[in-house]
Structure 1
Amino acid sequence: MNVPLDIAALGARAAAMIEELAAISATPDGLTRFFLTPEHRRAADLVAGWMREADLGVSEDALGTVRGHWHPAGPDAPRLLIGSHIDTVANAGKYDGTLGVILCIIALDEIRKAGLTKPFGVDILAFGDEEGTRFPTTLSASAAVAGIFAPASLVTRDAEGISYGEALIAYGKNPDDIPAAAYDPNKVIAYIEAHIEQGPVLEAEGEPLGVVTAIAGASRLSVTVTGEAGHAGTVPMSMRRDALLGAAEMALAAERIAKADAHGMVATVGRVHVEPGSVNVIPSRVVFTVDLRSGSDLSRREALERFEREAHRIADLRHLGVVISAFHEVATVPCFRDLQLRLRNAIADLGHRAPTMPSGAGHDGQAMSKLCPIGMLFVRCRGGISHNPAEYAAPQDMGLAAAALVRFIERFQLPQLSEATGGVET
């Protein structure tokens, strides 16, 4: 059966829920909602209330992840997991993470009201530590669900000196219960996440929804360039060993390498420290960072090798020293091809073409991929702006996203997972 859908009504409902959740903030003039804070507690309670209004079963695990349960085939049937996160960065936008949770609640409510039954269950997951803004951790809530939580996280501390473990106890949880948060991988079908794109591609394509091919892998480098300080007025240009000019040329090399890649690679130099930092002294030492992301681990590794060669070539030509060290490495997480196809078909049923693209941002799907196959649905956001109060998704686009989730779930059949093909086969 096709569940009847009113796109405009679905979008209006999502917009109202977005505003209600955005009102829960630690600051009165913006949106800030960190993990395991009173604001997280209030947001989790609101989400749980929405789940109950949708006639879903509700539970909460040891890390505060709120779970909504729809089990038409009974509690022992396999589960399709859907969801996103409800924590935010400081001075955040309203849609990042929270939209995905809201869309899932709306979609399951529509399915339940239509009387649809399936031979599997669906659990909505509202995670709380995707952004990593309070503690020097990230994805710990979804990691617990996936069975890969790192106990060392519990001793990390926030800016006020409160440990993760202490905050968890203050939130009313017992760290000893964390292992029980993990799903049995034999009973999980897949994980699907809806999220604003956080980029400008869908807007440029003129399409409201897209399908993610992979969550890009990321490498972060610290590059130290050494030259020689000298008087800005007396050392001839041909005799200078200017560390900043060498660093600038290396930064442009990173840009060229990324632009030449065929896998949507992006390169960012986000931090630069210059010494001695005087207006009339030639820079003698520069430390800068390179953030390199790609939907292909192979292309990312090759790009890193090219950058290292280029950096040393530039240093040799300019008589500079250069040291490159990696301080962050995350592998690409592919979205299963069959899940991509199912999402694209659901969107096509609504009369839209679904562009495919990698996600340059990290998501809970990275942790969930250790448990099961993952898929992601992107929703167009105005100007590609995210992590910013100007973040915005139109009600019509949100309504289409909720409808796409309904179509995806109602047509979903129990699959057999095939690692050999990199996809899900029925």
Structure 2
Amino acid sequence: MQINQDRYKDHLMTLAEIGKIGETGVNRLAHSKDDRKAVDVVQGWMKEAGLTTRIDGFGNLIGRTEGTEPDQPILMMGSHIDSQPYGGRFDGTAGALGAIEVVHTMKEQNIKPVRTIEVICFADEEGSRFNKGVFGVRGLIGQLEEGEILRKDKNGMTRLEALREFGVEPDLSESPVYKPGDIEAFLELHIEQGPVLESKDKPVGIVSAISGPIWLTVTLEGFAGHAGSVPMHLRQDAMLGAAIITKEFNELVRREGTPNTVGTVGSIQNFPNSRNIIAEKVEFTIDLRDIDLDARNRLEEKLYQLIEKTSKELNLDYSITEDTKSDPRYCADWIKEIMKKHDEQLGYQSPTLMSGPFHDALFMSYISDYGMIFVRCEKGISHNPLEYAEMEDLQKGVELLYHTAMEIAGA
């Protein structure tokens, strides 16, 4: 092993204490006080690794070490350190801290790369606070949407207010920061968040592609009435509509999706939210994703038809907001070949697998070639305090990241 295993482990466990819930959980929401505390701690580790650091107006933490040929397109590595409200210790952080460890190891071995290297902790990858994620990376590549900075969290705070509380002043005129040609390659290490590596009894995997997600927010509006006096056939029950759509959407994906199709209703809000009042307004989120774009598009069309049909049958009004829509993105063959070469030398025999979850790398792919390394996690559990990865597996993943980065950076 080239990397410092003890230092990497110490960084992971130290960061897990910030926003800790229970014994193993983490609640470190984007732009929150705990998120800022984490950024400050990680910024210190970047500086120890010899990186010059800055926090930009989107909340991204960026560290940079100059190469001997600074005019060449740079190598960028990283992930995120924000979490779900009921998250685990390794999602995002394994890759963000792994990238720092790669550069720190280069420094200790007096290796000066040809390419400039930047390590980044992207802001708000998770999207749980403002119901729209990968904010920091989209700010860097120019994919922020009009009015997005004014999206509100469940407490009514806008992202603009949250960023200012975080300690930065957003300037959307800075976006995009990077353009095609600026970055030679983007590398991201991440826990798999799925069961494939465990089923194959392999610690590490090389990613082939990231499936394309669609995030929708559906609003159904009926009419509130007394739960004890309005006959069933006269009701305009928005909650019933949401329940029917949820059930039939699940059946649609199971029946007509590919083996890689997944669909989820994940968040629901009910008004007036009283046990003895018929629900007048229900808002819920839908997550649909697949690596097969044609299959996903067919299911999306049928989902819209399902929402329209159910609303009509129950005499409800409906609206659909598209929060995120991305095509599947494929890892660069030349980066995969470099990974496979070093993987063979390390003796890992890592399989190639796709990613169902999306990552910051998906959006970096719009301006740069990219590659990803997955690390086995127990039972595929993620977005849950039970999320767990063996340190030995994580270290092997970072070791593969190190050798891949060394070759691409010309070190």
- The residue aligned with 1:47 is 42
Does 2:104 correspond to 1:109? yes
Q: Superposition pairs for residues 273-292 of structure 1, below 5 Å?
A: 291-292=287-288
- The residue aligned with 1:67 is 62
CA contact (8 A) 1:14 1:398 kept: no
| Whole-angstrom CA distance in 1 between matches of 2:44 and 2:346 | 30
Over 3 Å counting, the alpha-carbon distance change for 1:149 and 1:52 in structure 2 is: same
| Whole-angstrom CA distance in 2 between matches of 1:64 and 1:48 | 12
Q: Report the 3-state secondary structure (helix = DSSP H, G, I; strand = E; otherwise coil) of the residue aligned with 2:403.
A: helix
| Whole-angstrom CA distance in 1 between matches of 2:318 and 2:354 | 27
CA contact (8 A) 2:246 2:265 kept: no
- The residue aligned with 1:25 is 19
- The residue aligned with 2:276 is none
Over 3 Å counting, the alpha-carbon distance change for 1:408 and 1:325 in structure 2 is: same
- Which AA in structure 2 matches 1:23? E
Does 2:352 correspond to 1:356? yes
- The residue aligned with 2:252 is 254
- Which AA in structure 2 matches 1:261? T
- The residue aligned with 1:126 is 121
Shift of residue 372, structure 1, vs aligned partner: 1.6
- Which AA in structure 1 matches 2:252? A
**In the comparison of the two structures, how many residue pairs are matched?**
396
- The residue aligned with 1:369 is 365
Q: Superposition pairs for residues 208-357 of structure 1, below 5 Å?
A: 208-219=203-214, 250-251=248-249, 253-258=251-256, 261=258, 264-268=260-264, 291-304=287-300, 327-328=321-322, 330-338=325-333, 339-357=335-353
- Which AA in structure 2 matches 1:16? D
CA contact (8 A) 1:62 1:181 kept: no
- Contiguous gaps of at least 5 residues in structure 2: 221-239, 271-281
Over 3 Å counting, the alpha-carbon distance change for 1:245 and 1:55 in structure 2 is: closer
- Which is greater in Rg? 1
For 1:211-253, what per-residue CA distance to the aligned partner results, in whole angstroms no more than 9, with x for missing partners? 22222123459699xxxxxxxxxxxxxxxxx999987984564
| Whole-angstrom CA distance in 2 between matches of 1:354 and 1:90 | 32
| Whole-angstrom CA distance in 2 between matches of 1:296 and 1:376 | 19
For 1:96-146, what per-residue CA distance to the aligned partner results, in whole angstroms no more than 9, with x for missing partners? 111111100111111222233332111000112111232233111111221
Shift of residue 289, structure 1, vs aligned partner: 7.4
| Whole-angstrom CA distance in 1 between matches of 2:175 and 2:245 | 49
Shift of residue 95, structure 1, vs aligned partner: 0.5
- The residue aligned with 1:392 is 388
Shift of residue 58, structure 1, vs aligned partner: 1.6
Q: Which moved more, 1:351-360 or 1:395-404?
A: 351-360
- The residue aligned with 1:405 is 401
Q: Report the 3-state secondary structure (helix = DSSP H, G, I; strand = E; otherwise coil) of the residue aligned with 1:185.
A: coil
For 1:366-388, what per-residue CA distance to the aligned partner results, in whole angstroms no more than 9, with x for missing partners? 33223222222111111111111
- Which AA in structure 2 matches 1:24? I
Q: Which moved more, 1:71-80 or 1:117-126?
A: 71-80
Q: CA RMSD in A?
A: 4.3
TM-score by length of structure 2 reads 0.79
Does 2:83 correspond to 1:88? yes
Over 3 Å counting, the alpha-carbon distance change for 1:164 and 1:311 in structure 2 is: closer
Shift of residue 200, structure 1, vs aligned partner: 0.8
- Which AA in structure 1 matches 2:63? G
- The residue aligned with 2:233 is none
- Contiguous gaps of at least 5 residues in structure 1: 225-241, 275-285, 415-426
Does 2:52 correspond to 1:57? yes
Q: Which moved more, 1:383-392 or 1:369-378?
A: 369-378
CA contact (8 A) 1:311 1:322 kept: no
Does 2:187 correspond to 1:189? no
For 1:187-224, what per-residue CA distance to the aligned partner results, in whole angstroms no more than 9, with x for missing partners? 21121111111111111111111122222123459699
Match of residue 379, structure 2, among 377, 383, 387: 383
Identity over the aligned pairs, expressed in percent? 30
Over 3 Å counting, the alpha-carbon distance change for 1:405 and 1:250 in structure 2 is: same
Shift of residue 323, structure 1, vs aligned partner: 11
Shift of residue 182, structure 1, vs aligned partner: 0.9
| Whole-angstrom CA distance in 1 between matches of 2:401 and 2:157 | 39
Shift of residue 321, structure 1, vs aligned partner: 10
Over 3 Å counting, the alpha-carbon distance change for 1:72 and 1:38 in structure 2 is: same
Q: Report the 3-state secondary structure (helix = DSSP H, G, I; strand = E; otherwise coil) of the residue aligned with 2:181.
A: helix
Over 3 Å counting, the alpha-carbon distance change for 1:153 and 1:310 in structure 2 is: closer
Over 3 Å counting, the alpha-carbon distance change for 1:311 and 1:97 in structure 2 is: closer
TM-score by length of structure 1 reads 0.77
CA contact (8 A) 2:332 2:370 kept: no
Q: Which moved more, 1:296-305 or 1:128-137?
A: 296-305
- The residue aligned with 1:203 is 198
Over 3 Å counting, the alpha-carbon distance change for 1:352 and 1:149 in structure 2 is: same
